[in-house]
Homo-oligomer: A and B are copies of this chain.
């Protein structure tokens, strides 16, 4: 049982773990948005963005609604934004660690 939960958590994380998909999620921080504005925001090909949207939707991270010709996406749970905000901290720690290495390298040439 716990194994399966671990797997599902990994699936959600994998769905988030791509630069284009993170950019899509960031765009949706402002609120729901149609694909026609997501595409120019993230850059890249229409069909590629569409695939990434599908991956996020399959993982349950996004939901979508049709409005006439347009499709509007939104983040289903704002906790996703919290997670992305928290990721900042290990990133800072890691960059500081690398900075220390840099200093050590430069100082005692």
Contacts and interface: CB of A to CB of B under 8 A. Distances in A.
Q: Summarize A's interface: helix, strand, loop or mixed.
A: helix
A55 interface: no
Contacts of A17: 10-11, 13-14, 16-17
Interface in A1-52: 3, 5-14, 16-19, 21-23, 26
Contacts of A10: 16-19, 21-22
Copies in the complex: 2
A84 B103 CA distance: 33
A14 B19 CA distance: 10
A96 to B, nearest CB: 10
A10 B3 CA distance: 24
A90 B94 contact: no
Nearest to A59: B94
